[in-house]
Structure 1
Amino acid sequence: MQFFFKMTKLKKSLFLALLTIGVAMASCSDGDDESSKTIEQTGGTQTTQTVFADETTLNNGIKFTATEAWTATITEVATTKAAAGRVDWVELSAYSGGAGEFTLTMTLQPNLTGQSRKAEIRIVCGDTTIVIVIEQKGTKEDGTTPESPDGPDVSTDKLITKIDIDNYTHIGEFDGTDIVDFTYDDQKRLTKMVITKEDETSEGEKITTVSTIVFTYDNDKVSYEQTDVEDGVTSPYKPTGSITLDENGRAVSGTGRDYEYKDKVEEYTFTYSLEYNADGYLERSVRVEDADSEEERLTWSNGNLVSVWWGDGYGTSNPDAIDRAQYGSVLNKTNLDLNWIIALNSEGFDFATGDTNSMFPMLGYTGKRSTNMVEKIIAWTGAPKETFKYVYITNDDAFPVSITEYYNVAMPNEQTDWVKDNIYRVTYNK
């Protein structure tokens, strides 16, 4: 935050200084002079908006004009003596911006609690603040409570056998194709993934790297080991992962080994534990690496993983580091959970299940999966920012056959600028 600030020459200077301060204060005040406001609501935006429990959008959104940079925050309005908590049932299309005219859209999760809930949206621009209160009723318009949806009907016969990944540069130019092949045993368990990549050096030399990940199953344990071969030379560094399952077939603890490639290769190992809620969804993970312990807290709504808290942020406007996911109508029913290996692409989601390679959630060992496929990721990068979005093409059976990933190259305070990042082309055994 920047602060700007002997008839004798001394008296004249003092008068001018006071006049300058008065003008500066007036320009940022929230008084009756409408022309001095740095932010104003437009388009008839109501300061109080109410929806029913099954409504997930507000038609007109929040419209305003700002004369300088602004930030938006959402807080729960406490309806009991309990303290207000973080809000995971309302999302804004943007949380910051510069000068200009804006329309913020709101996405709400269905209210399955049976109780009304309120959230307060504060948009701050300079010394001017506008406040919008959103109330979501505990019932639908007919007075009934929405029911929690059943999980997706996951395929056991239609198996993913191959994914071709078309890569693009930061300016959207095609940059080669990676290939991932999948092999299964007679129990339709994944036993091997082979990832083939071709890179080009600055001298134009082609380098092919083949990474083979082998999975083993032993009663209440599942493990994997990765072997990399670069231009025919096998790497001595082999990332590994292993989990222990409970009586419900869910991972409750795990270990792993991986490497950091800096000036020299550094090996590190880690352990983690996983906890589930009464509905069978993963709600907490704790990862320990050396003497450091990192906690992640996952929030689910309407059968989908909508956010992960992964640390403290900074300041009053960004007190928590929270990555968020928004979902569309495409069902998440492929035999491998593609959300985890394609769409849940941010630092918070990477560490949410303990192993950043996400092999075990892909296999379905971390509790119930999300009902739908992710459409957008809003990652915390010092402030919330729309980071990735996904566009799906499905076949006649509603299985994804193409997933296009777009990356937002804009800075947090700029308008979104989507650039094609990857296209995933999915092949099935039938």
Structure 2
Amino acid sequence: MAFMAAALLASCSDKDNDYSGDFGQIKVPDTRQLEQTVTANDTQTARGVTFTTEGAWTSTIAEKTRAEAPDWIGISPDHGDAAGSYTLKITLQPNDSEESRTATIVINCGTSKIEITVTQEGTDNPVEPMPANRITRIESRQQTIRNSGDSDPERWTSTSHFAYDDAGRLTSYEWDDTPENTDNAMDEVLRISYPDAKTLKLSAETTESPEKESYTVTLNDAGRAVAARSDDGPERWTFAYDGNGCCKECTYEGDETHYYPRTVCRWSGNDLTGLDIYREQDLDFSYEFEYHTDRPNTPALCNLDLNALLFDVCPDIEDADFFMGSVLSGIGRLGNRSAHLTNTNPDESVFVVEQLPDGSFRRFRVLNERIEWKQVDGRITEVIWSQEVECFLEKDGKETVIPEQGYKETETHRIFY
């Protein structure tokens, strides 16, 4: 109704070139801004939307074809705390589909509202959509080869299984580190249910313990997690977002022994480029992330965020007992995913193993880390992570490399749809 009123007002004003619109507690100087069309590759509308409100205002974004908020469009700012003049910036993800798509942005102030319709045209070279992008299984194997050559390579394998409901939502994530066993028991199982549009329920169990851990996740109007809590204890996570739908901060409370209760996320160019980990009020350490700029990471190519599920490249809390950040990011509930596939597996680049009797420290340092993503017809089919680890002794500021104590690690993940 608001948009129809805007269109009528605009048509009546064509004669004198007055396109202004009065919607009660919201004033729009140019109602032509309320309907915008962009091409498939545009990541920002050419025009913002300027309006004036008589009080605080909020916003929602919706599509007619889905109940959840679309993840391809965002606005900044997404709310205002006081009366004033505002200019809305609209950002978009490229449209990989042949079909155009339309979202409606609703601005509410008191009893008044305006509706902004944004249509993004389809591409001439579409990427095939669901269900071709839905992951059903990941087979993983890890190998460690020591430079000394005095032992057989260490090997470890696992298989992950994924199940979905009729709406395409993930309902279970089962992980088995011994796929050759005969009892078919999964070592870890995460089950996900959807009681209503504002709630997720997570249930985690292992074959080693009869006890289940359960969590309740609260979602905002855009379908993003804003809070999560343990149903059986005091643990609680909270998540905050910027105007573009990117998670900007994670906090944790409830466990008195937890050293790192706060993480601040740094974003650049639609990629999560770093995490700053705080201990009490002070910055303790940071992770930096790098990406393959020629490898897009979009839901159209892969329904789950493998950056998060395989490498923890996502907003998260350090050393929490439950990997809430990677789980919620992996299933698309922690705001925007990074636009590209990672070339980083965050870990300590230098770590201490022990202090020797002579006062020196035996340390290890990561060298030549890389992640290779293999794709067939746009879909990710295999991921190979590798790194070399160098051993050295450090004493009085001097380092002595011990080549025979170094090793090489490789992880290979095969993706099935």
- What TM-score, normalized by structure 1, do the two folds share? 0.52
Distance of aligned partners of 1:400 and 1:289 in 2 relative to their CA distance in 1, 3 Å threshold: same
Deviations 1:358-410 (A, max 9, x none): 211111011111000101245456789758531111112x2211111224423
SS in 1 for 2:168: coil
- The one-letter amino acid paired with 2:138 is I
Unaligned residue ranges in structure 2 (runs of 5+): 1-89, 97-126, 147-151, 352-363, 393-398
Give the secondary-structure state (helix, strand or coil) at the position aligned to 1:339: helix
Q: Please give the secondary structure, in 2, of the residue aligned with 1:290.
A: coil
1:150 paired residue number: 93
Q: 2:309, 2:274 → 1: CA distance?
A: 17
Secondary structure of 1:340 counterpart: helix
Please, which of 344, 359, 379 is the counterpart of residue 376 of structure 1?
344
**TM-score under structure 2 length normalisation:** 0.53
Inter-CA distance 179–378: structure 2 relative to 1 (3 Å threshold): closer
Q: For the Cα contact (< 8 Å) 1:166–1:174, is it kept in 2?
A: no
Q: 1:341 to 1:324 in 2, by over 3 A?
A: same
Paired residues of 1:360 and 1:366 also in contact (CA < 8 A): yes
Asked if the contact 2:252–2:317 (Cα under 8 Å) also holds between the matched residues in 1, the reply is no
Counterpart-to-counterpart distance in 1, 2:391 and 2:284: 20
* Alpha-carbon distance between aligned partners in 1 of 2:372 and 2:296, rounded to the nearest angstrom: 13
**CA distance in 1 between partners of 2:187 and 2:283 (Å):** 42
1:180 deviates by 0.9
> 2:370 maps to what in 1?
389
CA distance in 2, matches of 1:415, 1:307: 32
CA distance in 2, matches of 1:363, 1:269: 24
Q: State the Cα RMSD in Å.
A: 4.0
| CA distance, structure 2, for counterparts of residue 298 and residue 402 of structure 1 | 28
Q: Secondary structure at the match of 2:207?
A: strand
Who is 1:270 aligned against? Answer: 235
Aligned equivalents of 2:214, 2:289: Cα separation in 1: 28
Indicate if the aligned counterparts of 2:215 and 2:229 stay in contact, CA closer than 8 A.
yes
Show the counterpart of 1:211. Answer: 188
2-structure distance, mates of 1:210, 1:182: 14
Q: Between the two proteins, what is the percent identity of the paired residues?
A: 19
SS of the aligned residue for 1:237 comes to: strand
Does the aligned pair in 2 maintain the 1:167–1:177 contact within 8 Å? yes
Which residue identity is paired with 2:241?
Answer: Y
Q: What one-letter code is carried by the residue in structure 1 that aligns with 2:162?
A: F
Q: What is the count of residue pairs matched by the alignment?
A: 259
Give the equivalent residue in structure 2 for 1:367: 335
Residue in 2 that maps onto 1:160: 135
Deviations 1:227-275 (A, max 9, x none): 2225xxxx22223332100111111111137xxxxxxxxx965101110
Do structure 1's residue 423 and structure 2's residue 412 form an aligned pair? yes
CA distance in 1, matches of 2:218, 2:187: 28
Tell whether 2:299 aligns with 1:311. Answer: no
Deviation of 1:170 after TM superposition, in Å, equals 5.2
Amino acid at match of 1:241: Y
- Equivalent in the alignment of 1:241: 215
Give the whole-Å Cα distance in 1 for the aligned partners of 2:273 and 2:134.
27
Maintained 8 Å contact 2:312/2:346: no
The verdict on how the C-alpha distance between 1:381 and 1:174 changes in structure 2, with shifts beyond 3 A counting, is closer
Match of 2:229 among 240, 255, 278: 255
Q: Is the 8 A contact 1:252 1:273 kept in 2?
A: yes
Q: Alpha carbons of 1:210 and 1:356: their partners in 2 closer, same or farther (altered >3 Å)?
A: closer
Deviation at 1:166, TM superposition (A): 1.2
Structure 1 portions without partners, runs of 5+: 1-146, 201-205, 258-266
Amino acid aligned to 1:290: D
The letter for the 2-side match of 1:321 is F
Partner Cα separation in structure 1 for residue 95 and residue 246 of structure 2 = 14
Deviations along 1:75-122, one digit per CA (max 9) or x if unpaired, are: xxxxxxxxxxxxxxxxxxxxxxxxxxxxxxxxxxxxxxxxxxxxxxxx
Counterpart of 2:21? none
Q: Is the 8 A contact 2:311 2:346 kept in 1?
A: no
| Kept in 2: contact 1:305–1:370 (CA 8 A) | yes
| Pair 1:367–1:319, CA change in 2 (3 A) | closer
Amino acid at match of 1:238: K
Deviation at residue 278 of structure 1 after TM alignment: 1.2
- Structure 1 residue 322 and structure 2 residue 322: aligned? no
Counterpart in the other structure of 2:309: 341
Offset of residue 148 of structure 1: 7.7
Tell whether the 8 Å contact from 2:157 to 2:179 is kept in structure 1 after alignment: no
Residue equivalent to 1:189: 169
Q: C-alpha distance in 1, partners of 2:266/2:230?
A: 25
Task: Please name the residue that 2:263 is paired with.
Answer: 296
**Equivalent pair of 1:307/1:322 in contact (CA under 8 Å):** yes
1:207 to 1:247, Cα distance in 2 relative to 1, 3 A: closer
